[in-house]
Amino acid sequence: MAKKWSQRIRNWMANKMDLPQDVMMDLPRITMIGQIHVYIENHRGLLAFTDKELRLLLKKGQLLIKGKSFVIKTILPEEILLEGKIDQVIYITENPGGTK
């Protein structure tokens, strides 16, 4: 019950104070430029990286990016800039064990 109220308060504050919902709700902000750049803000850490895959931990779930010739151009505690040919961006909400 407390989670529902805190969520409602965050939504109300975001609307009334004209704040971006990604900031108030602790969501990732993903900015893509075509298929060549993706900039992700508000992640919780790098889980895996190869030249074909990037996996980031989020507050709720994970973000998986698949493609080719990946290079991390910038990496900061909560921001990352990835370059390469991006084929897929997948938001994963389930744990490997099958529970949400």
Domains of the chain from N-terminus onward: 26-92 (2.60.40.2000)
Residue 20 clears pLDDT 70, i.e. is over it:
no
pLDDT tens-digit readout, 52-69? 999 999 988 999 999 999
Nearest-angstrom CA–CA distance, 30 and 19 = 17
Over 90: is that where the pLDDT of 22 sits?
A: no
Q: How confident is the model at residue 99 (pLDDT cuts 50, 70, 90)?
A: very low
The DSSP call for residue 98 is S
- Whether 9 has a pLDDT exceeding 80, the answer reads no
Q: Which residues contact 49 (CB under 8 A, 6 or more apart)?
A: 55, 70, 72
pLDDT of residue 8: 74
